[in-house]
Structure 1
Amino acid sequence: MIRPLIASLAALVLTACASVPAGPAAPSSDLAPLTVRIIGINDFHGNLLPHKRKSDAGPLTPDGRAIDAPVGGAAVLATAVRQLRAQNSDSLVISAGDLISASPLVSSLFLDEPSIGVMNRIGLEFNAVGNHELDRGWQELLRMQNGGCEQFGLREPCQVENPFEGADFPFLAANVTRPDGSLLLPAYGIRHFGSGEREVAVAVIGLPLRGVPALVSPTGIEGLNFGDEADAINALVPKLLDEGADAIIVAIHQGFEADGYYDSGDDCGGAIGPLNDILKRLDPRVDLVISGHTHRYFICEYSQFDPTRDFLVTSTGYGSGMVADLVVTIDPAKHDVRVKAAEMVIVQSEDPNFRRFAPDPEIAAYVAQYEQASRAAAERPVGRISGPAREDGWENALGNMIADAQLAATRANGAQIAFMNEGGVRTDLVPETADGTVTFAQIYAVQPFGNVLMTMDLTGAQIAAALEQQFTVPDAPEVLSVSDGFTYRLDRTKPVGQRVSDMRLDGTPIVSDARYRVTVNSFLAGGGDRFTVFAEPENKTIGPVDLDSFEAWIDGEGGRALPATDRITLIGG
């Protein structure tokens, strides 16, 4: 029967396990199956401290309440993982990517070195490369793996720990190759459990989504090739079986688009999202899939969607507010793998209505070093705004404010128009004081990537083409915020090439063959988010860092009023 997350986990207060049908009985064996506990996480994003993100947990209590306490945080996560692992002598902790980047100041200010340090201490064993692992380029990713203090960007490494030792666990990227065809990082790893005739080998394949090039700065991944995910996995399955693997786990940074906890009779919510396109082509000999990227939470029995593929698929939301606790049995003689129990565990220490995990003192002390090092920067006031600036809606005040800041910062380079991508705006900007003061930590959370601004010449026709590229993926448009003075009409009901009309600059119509000076961040200037038009001009004028520009704008004129949201006239709903 269908057993949704709200009912099953609320009733069990997230402490009991939901049974997963075992399927047909395996042939009898003289050797007892070996039990291995698999703990899955994804999208940690450097959340060293607990955070309020109720959408991760959903309404879980019997009366429909969401958990009313911070979730996640490295110290609480460490205790949760330790206690779960203690229930079995054999266990494995696997991450499905985005451990780092797009992270809070306490981690991002230090190039996410403390997030790697935390995961070393927690005992993470494998991490699939996610798109955000490549935000600072492939060379910096290799530094995360191997350690060292070589500087590849604007921010200085090894500010607290010198030298930075790198990750004790491997980053896995089975579908990422260099120009000569060699892998950038290992494709898989194998762990052995048990001994003698009961020894089993568990193989873990890890990989990012092949769409990484559209999600990171192209210059940071120049020369790399991101291959088809299913092809990469399927090519490895027979190789791993030949090497003696008894179980094969896939950790993939791609996911579904719906939340839920699915049991017998359900169809995994229709398996909505790009992950399904991969799974329906996957070798049926895969035993378990740990996913991420979409920040959704689910435990999905995929055989109900496709009976030929009898594996479980998990994802645990965002920031390690939850972990997936999976009990797997492996028959050492028949290589038969069964997930006997699966539970979504909330990582929290305060709400008595749910299982609580006391913060691990060693991890808490380690994180405190970085809190102290970041405090002066984090608490520094940078200016005042007139009210909460949020990132919701087709057009919003926060995106417009950032575009205005970038235009002002590049006026000296001739800029007339600025565009800001919605994916580069990571959170709302909400003053915590009555006078509207915001801190560096707050604006850093909004723009954590350290992109530089680039100004270029574009014709009116190119500007229209760039705005049409907001719909490169029709079901998931990437909306650009626009700077003050630029307006246009957007009709989503029109066919491709006709959606954008009536473009104006300071009230004057944009001329198709006239040239205009346009500013975007370096991510967009390299063709990021599929805005290839911005990559066309060869001569671009480099300006200041985006965050510096935002700070200067907020600090100007004794504070800033939120801009109006009247620059895009939306037609067609």
Structure 2
Amino acid sequence: MVSRITPSPKRLASAAAIAAAAVLALTMAAPAQAAPKAPHPANGPTVDIQLLSFNDFHGNLEAPGGSSGRLVVDHRLADGATTPTDVTANVGGVEYLATHLAQARQGHPYSLTVAAGDLIGASPLLSGAFHDEPSILAMNTLKLDVSAVGNHEFDEGYQELQRMANGGCIADGDGANNQNSCPDGVFPGASFDYLAANVVKSGTDETILPAYAIKNINGVKIGFIGMTLKDTPSIVTAAGVAGLEFRDEVATANALVPVLREQGVNAIVVLVHQGGAPGQQTWYHDGTAYTVNPSYDAACANGAQLDPSSPIIPIAKNLDPAIDMIVSGHTHQPYVCTITDPAGHDRMVTSASSFGRLYTDTTLTYDRRTQDIVRTSVKSENMLVTRDVAKDRAETAIIDRYRELVAPIASKVIGQITADVTRLQNDAGESALGDLIADAQLADPSVVGPYGAPVIAMMNPGGIRADLTYLASSWGEAPGNVTFEEAFTVQPFNNYLVSLDLTGAQIRQLLAEQWSGPNAAGKKILQVSVGFAYSYSGTTLGEVTLNGQPLEDGATYRVVTNNFLAGGGDGFPTFLDAQNVYFGGLDIDGFAAYLTAHGPYTAGALERITAG
């Protein structure tokens, strides 16, 4: 039997106050080292706790298609070839995930299922059209116990996140913007604990959701601290994080350790929506080493390691040694690694890719005498969510119900393509799908307003969530036909298009921000519209032209983008200096209209951005 212990308001206030004090202390002095928690053999009776975990589900109820539904499982070197190729498997889908989790729990009376954020947001239409209520119902059905929030939980603001946790319906006009809350008249909210330890209302220490949860299985108590990444405001629309403060992950979690210990909880797991990326894998064939793309189980035991710049590493290295394990997310990468804690002892850190394609199965041995985890006992393995098992009937019922409701919108054919149009970027960072979306933004009449028509469009690559695939046929449509559902899956945020005035000098500064400031660690190459072109070499911007003419620093240009970038998102603060800002319609509507007007669409050559 699992029982939920709800922290009292007094406890939560105490925890928040301690966290605030810890953050202040960290800004003034080097962090004090926590008391060492040396690995030790069990000195009392033990039980094995099974922890099943996943992350970044993003509303993928149906088995995702294309590259979003595959993972690298091996490599192959064909006869006569000199370069290995990836061997992939089709995985994912909540019907299969639920079955795999149920099968994994068999024979494990002490089992908990947890997640590390982004359960919702950037979701396919089947969930997104209903404000992600179907995904919360699906998480309830697969018996999720605890989840941290991620950045995408804030896409529609924290009040909407609280509704996801607590239930209730929105008066959304019964289908306004292709969304419909509570089509059956009720939404119960999450049956699991949604945690947001490091997110407080501005000017207070009040968390918007509980900071932690304690699970008690027949006297075995485990505390879970849930957090999103502190940089959430830079990757979510300004409206989504308005009125909130996002605090340091390490300071927040470390401050909660004594709060949990006061309640007799020594076994502690952190669920944090921040992660890492495995480097290339070393793969051997007939005694020869090859550098290949990492397989789902490569890091950190089978020929790959986490990139040293991975943001989860400094978090893991500085979390209190009293914390026994870290379940991470955000980067959509698979890994099972150990990272040393401040006392120099190994601590498990895991991530299970994304979209329900993997889950992590961890065994934690719990010493009943010390009421703590035997750190040396912790073992984790990432498991493929294969599609060769029976579908979970309850999950199928959820999918079938919402598929019926969404069919009239989702199945509508809005255009045609002559071949795949993908997010794959060339060496300069340009993609065919990025070109298409930027052109659609430039052509949208809703952004003309009183200040004239835009002449340049810019799109953030992270907002392009799927490819347009020629052979896709979710509703029985002919090859090449593009449905509204497919277009929505490409741009699922319901962002607004925004036109604004920037000088030529400001546009050059924006282009430089692609590889400087927050983007210095990894370039974010903006996708741009037809007629606009530029070159760069390393971090040096070259020639910038519009319709073949050099951009003039002192001239003013009308630019269109989405409200996320217009709010300074993704590390592009120069957008905040724009003048004459005018909001148009939804990006998905502009995209759909462009596909209708320009079908059948054939992608052109990638010549707008060049790199030397």
TM-score normalized by structure 1? 0.87
**What letter is aligned with 2:501?**
D
Tell me, yes or no, if the aligned pair for 1:54 and 1:68 is still in contact at 8 Å. no
CA distance in 2, matches of 1:40, 1:525: 35
Aligned ranges 1:493-572 → 2 under 5 Å = 493-494=539-540, 499=541, 501-537=542-578, 539-571=580-612
1:141 aligns with 2:164: no
Q: CA deviation at 1:376?
A: 2.7
Q: Select which of 322, 331, 334 maps to 2:358.
A: 322
Aligned ranges 1:148-547 → 2 under 5 Å = 148-151=168-171, 154=177, 156-179=179-202, 180-194=204-218, 199-258=219-278, 260-261=297-298, 268-269=305-306, 272-303=309-340, 308-338=344-374, 339-350=377-388, 357-393=389-425, 394-410=429-445, 412-413=448-449, 414-432=453-471, 436-472=480-516, 473-494=519-540, 499=541, 501-537=542-578, 539-547=580-588
Tell me, yes or no, if the aligned pair for 2:503 and 2:553 is still in contact at 8 Å. yes
Q: CA deviation at 1:113?
A: 0.7
Report SS of the residue matched to 1:81.
helix
Report SS of the residue matched to 2:383.
strand
- The count of residues paired between Structure 1 and Structure 2 equals 531
Kindly tell me: are residues 452 and 403 of structure 1, through their superposed partners in 2, closer, same or farther at Cα, counting changes over 3 Å? same
**What letter is aligned with 2:384?**
I
Report SS of the residue matched to 2:160.
helix
Tell me, yes or no, if the aligned pair for 2:59 and 2:123 is still in contact at 8 Å. yes
1:131 aligns with 2:146: no
Percent of aligned positions with the same letter in both sequences? 37
Tell me, yes or no, if the aligned pair for 1:160 and 1:370 is still in contact at 8 Å. no
Tell me, yes or no, if the aligned pair for 2:320 and 2:342 is still in contact at 8 Å. no
Report SS of the residue matched to 1:59.
strand
> CA deviation digits over 1:414-458, x for unaligned, max 9?
211111110111111122288732111211111111111111111
CA distance in 1, matches of 2:74, 2:605: 38
Report SS of the residue matched to 1:540.
strand
Q: CA deviation at 1:534?
A: 1.3
Tell me, yes or no, if the aligned pair for 2:46 and 2:366 is still in contact at 8 Å. yes
Kindly tell me: are residues 327 and 56 of structure 1, through their superposed partners in 2, closer, same or farther at Cα, counting changes over 3 Å? farther
Which residue in the other structure is 2:32 paired with?
none
Report SS of the residue matched to 1:302.
strand
Structure 2 unaligned regions, length at least 5: 1-37, 78-83, 279-293, 473-477
Tell me, yes or no, if the aligned pair for 2:351 and 2:360 is still in contact at 8 Å. yes
Q: CA deviation at 1:296?
A: 1.0
Structure 1 unaligned regions, length at least 5: 1-22, 351-356
Q: CA deviation at 1:238?
A: 1.6
Tell me, yes or no, if the aligned pair for 2:421 and 2:433 is still in contact at 8 Å. yes
**What letter is aligned with 2:371?**
H
Kindly tell me: are residues 272 and 540 of structure 1, through their superposed partners in 2, closer, same or farther at Cα, counting changes over 3 Å? closer
Kindly tell me: are residues 560 and 25 of structure 1, through their superposed partners in 2, closer, same or farther at Cα, counting changes over 3 Å? closer
**What letter is aligned with 1:486?**
F
Kindly tell me: are residues 154 and 263 of structure 1, through their superposed partners in 2, closer, same or farther at Cα, counting changes over 3 Å? closer
Tell me, yes or no, if the aligned pair for 2:39 and 2:345 is still in contact at 8 Å. no
CA distance in 1, matches of 2:539, 2:507: 20
Report SS of the residue matched to 1:94.
strand
Kindly tell me: are residues 234 and 309 of structure 1, through their superposed partners in 2, closer, same or farther at Cα, counting changes over 3 Å? farther
Tell me, yes or no, if the aligned pair for 1:97 and 1:130 is still in contact at 8 Å. yes
CA distance in 2, matches of 1:263, 1:409: 47
Residue range with higher mean Cα deviation, 320-329 or 559-568: 559-568
Residue range with higher mean Cα deviation, 258-267 or 47-56: 258-267
CA distance in 1, matches of 2:169, 2:55: 26
Kindly tell me: are residues 416 and 56 of structure 1, through their superposed partners in 2, closer, same or farther at Cα, counting changes over 3 Å? same
Tell me, yes or no, if the aligned pair for 1:261 and 1:300 is still in contact at 8 Å. no
Report SS of the residue matched to 1:79.
helix
Residue range with higher mean Cα deviation, 99-108 or 445-454: 99-108
